[in-house]
């Protein structure tokens, strides 16, 4: 099991140079430290609690290789994406950004999308998306989940055809990442998504005017409510995705979860500490939010529902990237699943196919996976399997239909890029030339700019 200090590799956030780096324990926090010949010593907060960081390493599991490796090892990670022979995990969740245009100009946007003319902007064709989906299927065999994103994908004129193309390839979980404006304004859109059995991943950062103005640039509370109500009426499942930034909306964590639990369309909340790449507010790299601060803030604000040990490090990626809990809700009380089953016991058997509890292990691994979305049919099936395997009481099995997932997901940026974590990344961008590039490398190691420049020039590399 990894301990501190730990050696790794990183990059300089100023010039991108690859550097030897160290994770150290300083005052109970994990600091990523390196030195650039040109820019000097560079430090950033990698994780907010060194004790929890060390404990999470017990969830580190060997990865599963993709069927295809698309690039060779030449310069070394993170310069050979992807997926190169050094990568140690397959892709649980593939992301296709279908456009760069948006109907918002958010002050926080790692993709740097917007309403204005973009010299390197693009809009993919249906044929391009179909080719990218085929590349994903070839690399994975049976992909678990894909998300169409942007920009704002709902404004793409072929978005429904693109979503249908993903479903036609047998991908069980197909998601639309959206700000909700079209859902709120177009009465036909939610029913169209329902007909395709699409899951909506909805930006939802809080309730205060100050939060909306700081993160999205305008007040969107009525838009979000209308979008969710249309989804509920059409039977579309929704996960709320909250960008969380220090000093802006960390006080709203509990209110977001409580709202989500009580809204009939919502079956999960994904908290994402702001990735400081693209557009973002000025910040102190030693005072950024990480998963542990988000989890603690939520537990303080909803102490009647959650405690810190309800959140399990997700084993399919590096264990400090994502922590999740799956809870049962009966309309009044919420009970996190880790209080009902010994999650540690079963997750420890995930890669050992000889144990008799393998089906229970697989079900738990599926729940605590980057490809899971609370309340989807597939997640419900897994929970039913868990219930059968460990003997949940009948009343809890009935409540299971109202399962609710809460996730804290800390993506890496130029300041926090840790090559050892990156090699285990299971969330990846699928790009038009068929490469599958780990999401954090795509944002932090220059791939986004390369892909946009190539598309703007009319090429696919």
pLDDT tens for 341-375 read 777 765 543 332 222 333 444 555 555 565 665 54
List pLDDT tens digits, range 148-181.
Answer: 999 999 999 999 999 999 999 999 999 999 999 9
% helix, strand, coil for the chain, step of 5: 35, 20, 45
Contact in structure between 189 and 75 (CB atoms under 8 Å): no
Alpha-carbon radius of gyration of the chain: 21
Please tell me the predicted confidence (pLDDT) of residue 216: 97
The segment with the largest mean pLDDT, out of 220-224, 367-371, 452-456, is: 220-224
Amino acid 96: pLDDT? 98
Query: Which of 145, 102, 96 has its CA nearest to residue 125?
Result: 96
Tokens (6 digits) for 418 = 């840790």
Contact 253, 294 (CB under 8 A): yes
21: its two tokens: 């780096």
Section 186-210 average pLDDT: 97
Retrieve residue 68's tokens: 């295809």
353 Cβ contact partners less than 8 Å away, ≥ 6 residues apart: none
> Greater confidence, 275 or 376?
275
Lowest mean pLDDT among 150-164, 255-269, 379-393: 379-393
Whether the CA torsion 283, 288, 294, 299 is positive or negative: it is negative
Give the model's pLDDT for residue 392. 39
pLDDT at 1: 60
| Calpha distance 111→150 (Å, rounded) | 8
Helix (H) or strand (E) holding 21: strand 18-26
Instruction: Take residue 228 and report the two structure tokens written for it.
Output: 């969710």
Is the pLDDT at 131 greater than 80? The verdict is yes
Q: Which helix or strand (DSSP H or E) is residue 230 part of?
A: helix 221-234
Structure token pair of residue 277: 């790449």
CB–CB of 239/269 below 8 Å? yes
258 exposure class (CB count in 10 Å sphere: 0-12, 13-18, 19+): middle
pLDDT at 17: 96
Q: What is the pLDDT of residues 80-101, one digit of tens each?
A: 998 999 999 999 899 999 999 9
The average pLDDT across 108-124 equals 92
Residue 23, Ramachandran bin (φ over 0: left; ψ between -120 and 50: alpha; else beta): beta
3-state secondary structure of 105: coil
Amino acid 125: pLDDT: 97
C-alpha to C-alpha distances, 131 to 125, 151, 416, 442, nearest whole angstrom: 10, 20, 33, 19
Specify the pLDDT at position 140.
93
Q: Answer yes or no: is pLDDT of 2 > 70.
A: yes
The rounded distance, in Å, linking the Cα atoms of 165 and 169 is 7
Mean pLDDT of the chain, nearest integer = 88
| Beta strands at 427-430 and 145-149: parallel, antiparallel or unpaired | unpaired
Contact indicator for 440, 417 with CB cutoff of 8 Å: yes
Nearest to 236 by CA among 204, 274, 265: 265
The label of the residue with tokens 């809204």 reads 263
CB 149 within 8 A of CB 98: yes
Q: What is the pLDDT of residues 73-84, one digit of tens each?
A: 999 999 999 899
pLDDT at 365: 57
**In sequence order, which residues have a C-beta less than 8 Å from that of residue 279 and are 6 or more positions away?**
106, 107, 108, 109, 110, 112
> How far is residue 304's CA from residue 210's CA, in Å, rounded to a whole number?
27
Phi and psi torsions of 153, nearest 5°: -65, -25
Beta partners for residue 322, in sequence order: 409
Structural tokens at position 241: 């995705």
Please state the rounded mean pLDDT for residues 7-14.
Answer: 97
Residue 173: closest CA among 196, 192, 195: 196
**8 Å CB contact between 341 and 138:** no
Helix (H) or strand (E) holding 146: strand 145-149
Give pLDDT, residue 363.
52
Q: What is the pLDDT of residue 60?
A: 87
> pLDDT tens digits, residue range 306-317?
999 999 888 888
Rounded to whole angstroms, the Cα distance separating 422 from 86 reads 10
**Residue 383 confidence (pLDDT) above 80:** no
Query: What DSSP state is assigned to residue 113?
Result: -
Which of the two residues, 120 and 430, has the higher pLDDT score?
Answer: 430
Phi and psi at residue 268, in whole multiples of 5°?
Answer: -175, 155
Q: What strands lie across the sheet with 18-26, from one edge to the other?
A: 6-11, 18-26, 29-36, 40-47
Tokens of 212: 């909306």
């Amino acid at each position: 099991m990894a301990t501190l200090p730990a050696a790794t590799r990183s990059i300089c956030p100023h010039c991108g140079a690859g550097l030897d780096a160290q994770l150290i324990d300083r005052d109970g926090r994990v600091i990523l430290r390196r030195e650039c010949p040109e820019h000097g010593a560079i430090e950033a907060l990698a994780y907010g609690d060194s004790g929890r960081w060390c404990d999470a390493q017990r969830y580190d599991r060997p990865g599963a290789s993709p069927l295809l490796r698309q690039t060779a090892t030449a310069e070394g990670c993170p310069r050979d994406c992807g997926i190169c022979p050094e990568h140690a995990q397959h892709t649980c969740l593939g992301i296709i950004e279908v456009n760069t245009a948006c109907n918002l100009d958010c002050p926080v946007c790692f993709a740097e999308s917007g309403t204005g003319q973009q010299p390197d902007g693009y809009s993919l064709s249906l044929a391009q998306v179909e080719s990218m989906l085929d590349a994903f299927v070839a690399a994975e065999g049976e992909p678990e989940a894909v998300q169409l994103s942007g920009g704002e994908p709902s404004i793409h004129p072929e978005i429904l055809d693109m979503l249908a193309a993903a479903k036609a390839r047998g991908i069980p979980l197909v998601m639309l990442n959206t700000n909700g404006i079209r859902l709120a304004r177009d009465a036909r859109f939610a029913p169209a998504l329902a007909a395709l059995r699409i899951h909506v991943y909805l930006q939802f950062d809080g309730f205060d005017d100050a939060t909306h103005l700081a993160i999205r640039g305008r007040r969107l509370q009525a838009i979000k409510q209308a979008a969710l109500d249309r989804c509920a009426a059409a039977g579309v499942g929704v996960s709320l995705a909250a960008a969380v930034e220090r000093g802006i909306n960390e006080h709203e964590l509990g209110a977001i979860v409580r709202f989500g639990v009580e809204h009939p369309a919502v079956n999960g909340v994904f908290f994402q500490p702001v990735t400081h790449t693209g557009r973002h507010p000025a910040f102190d790299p030693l005072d950024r939010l990480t998963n542990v601060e988000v989890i603690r803030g939520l537990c303080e604000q909803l102490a009647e529902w959650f405690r810190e040990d309800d959140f399990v490090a997700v084993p399919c990626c590096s264990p400090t990237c994502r922590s999740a809990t799956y809870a049962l809700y009966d309309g009044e009380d919420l009970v996190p699943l880790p209080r009902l089953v010994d999650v540690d016991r079963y997750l420890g058997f995930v890669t050992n196919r000889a144990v008799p509890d393998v089906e229970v292990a697989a079900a738990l691994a599926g729940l605590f996976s980057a490809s899971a979305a609370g309340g989807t049919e597939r997640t419900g099936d897994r929970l039913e399997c868990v219930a059968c395997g460990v003997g949940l009481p009948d009343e809890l099995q009935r409540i299971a239909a109202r399962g609710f997932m809460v996730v804290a997901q800390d993506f890496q940026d130029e300041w926090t890029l840790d090559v050892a974590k990156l090699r285990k990344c299971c969330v990846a961008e699928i790009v038009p030339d068929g490469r599958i590039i780990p999401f954090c490398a795509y944002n932090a190691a220059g791939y986004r700019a390369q892909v946009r420049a190539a598309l703007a020039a009319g090429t696919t590399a």
